[in-house]
Structure 1
Amino acid sequence: MKRSVPRAVIALAGASAGILLVVPPASASATGARTTTGTVRAAAAKTLPFTWFGQERYYYCGPASTKIALSARMTPPSQDTLAASLGTTTNGTDDISNVVATLNHFLGTTWYERKPVNDPPTQAQRDLLKQDLVFDVDRGWAIVANVVSGWRPPGYPSGTIYHYVAVVGYADDGDSAVIADPAGAGAGGSGWTAVPKTYTISTYDLGTWIGLKAYAA
């Protein structure tokens, strides 16, 4: 039985422009489909083994975030290969649905689904995001989120930024989320040098950050 839960993503823009473009939980079956049965989580915190990749082009936040998420389960293809699969252009990655399809394709699974989030998120959407975060990470699946400022982490450039990030872990029983940001360490341009490669934010803030977009889980 496949679990029913929502998911979205964006592509990062140039150093000066600061533009980013936008692109679920139970035990996994042999085909990677979600089910509603499985062991009960015991950990208060967990971070997946993953490899961080900086985006190789200013509009590659979608491909880079997808590559980070794939690295938790496989040796991922190049960002150029992923960009072709995602339909990424200089305008970024059009919708998180492209990320869902690409993750499922390269992992040979039906695990990932698109989960939309309102602005502001409803309480049900916030609850689902926390549930997805813990459920997926406990079973070895990273999440990709399509985010937009509004809300932003400390160190982020000013202005409206459409972006994709990978979510690779949780802490505080799911109240905090571990982010792998492909624009970090200056990969997004000179305005991004203060942004770490990885950082932890509250899951509540993550939901606000996704608002109007979606995530792949």
Structure 2
Amino acid sequence: MKKLIMLAAVLTAITVLGAPAQAAGKTIKVAWQHQTHGYNCGPAATRIAISAYTSSLPAQEAIGKYEGTSSSTGTDRWHVQKGLAHYAPKAQWRVVSNANQGGYLTAREADIFHHNIENDIKANHPLAINIVVHPGGARPPGWSNPGQIIDHWVVINGFDPGARSVLVTDPASTGRGFNKDASYWVPLSTMDKLVRKTYIW
């Protein structure tokens, strides 16, 4: 995916995360790590997702090498899937591509997306999500309005059916212009507007 331009600081702090204190619903504990480069959201999200299955976590650089991540193109969906399947082989990782690439989910696609989230979280299986944030458009809570399009990988590791929201663990968090918390809740109505290309469940 495209380079995450706005990332200003490189941090490598690792935190084991469940849900914020106010959260309800089902959550999965994962190990968060800040992405080591602006273009490294794919390997960082892979690392977060596989931490639900193993505590023996590879370095982002090793994941990036395996996934073919580059500073010019980031990591595409098929290579993120390849990394997830390699490092967490006991889980099943399926790519869903939107019918309208770059556009919003259709009503049916959104229903399937919500169903996949709920079932996966119940099964303790996080999802790798590609979000696309446009200037002036929908964006995750705590994000500044970007000056250009941001194409980014995050992980969904929680679902609250009552509040109709998902818990997102974001490798860009704590960086300038992003949420200060490693994990935060996002309304499904907002997430539907951010998933413009693909997700892996």
Give the TM-score, by structure 2 length.
0.80
Cα separation, 1, equivalents of 2:81 and 2:62: 15
What is the CA RMSD across the aligned residues, in angstroms?
A: 2.0
Confirm or deny: 8 A CA contact 2:2 2:72 kept in the other structure.
Answer: no
Matches within 5 A, 1:43-82: 45-75=25-55, 76-82=57-63
Structure with higher RCO (Cα < 8 A, 6+ apart): 1
2:5 matched residue in structure 1: 13
Query: Do the aligned partners of residues 106 and 124 (structure 1) sit closer, same or farther apart at CA in structure 2, a change above 3 Å counting?
Result: same
Q: Residue 104 of structure 1: which of 71, 85, 90 is its match? A: 85
Q: Name the residue aligned to 1:180.
A: 169
Instruction: Give, as a single letter, the amino acid of the residue that structure 1 aligns with 2:141.
Output: P
Aligned ranges 1:1-217 → 2 under 5 Å: 12-15=4-7, 45-75=25-55, 76-109=57-90, 111-117=92-98, 118=100, 119-150=103-134, 151-157=138-144, 158-159=146-147, 160-173=149-162, 175-186=164-175, 190-192=176-178, 194-211=179-196, 213-217=197-201
Residue 140 of structure 1: CA displacement? 1.4
**CA spacing shift, 1:52–1:86, aligned 2, 3 Å:** same
Q: CA deviation at 1:123?
A: 0.9
Task: After superposition, give the CA deviation of every residue in 1:2-32 in whole Å (9 maximum; x if it has no partner).
Answer: xxxxxxx66533536xxxxxxxxxxxxxxxx
Tell me the distance in 1 between the aligned counterparts of 2:189 and 2:131. 13
Gap runs ≥5 in structure 1: 1-8, 17-43
Query: Structure 2: how far apart are the matches of 1:15 and 1:199?
Result: 18
| Contact in 1 for aligned 2:167/2:185 (Cα 8 Å) | yes
Gaps of 5+ in 2: 9-23
Secondary structure in 2 aligned to 1:170? strand
1:133–1:174: 8 Å Cα contact kept in structure 2? no
| CA drift at 1:92 | 4.3
Is residue 11–residue 164 contact of structure 1 (8 Å, CA) maintained in 2? no
On the 8 A contact 1:179/1:199 being kept in 2, the answer is yes
Would the alpha carbon gap of residues 71 and 92 (structure 1) be closer, same or farther in structure 2, given more than 3 Å must change?
A: farther
Is contact 2:6-2:177 (8 Å) kept?
Answer: no
- Cα deviation for residue 216 of structure 1 reads 0.6
CA contact (8 A) 1:178 1:198 kept: yes
TM-score by length of 1: 0.75
Q: Distance in 2 between matches of 1:128 and 1:14?
A: 31
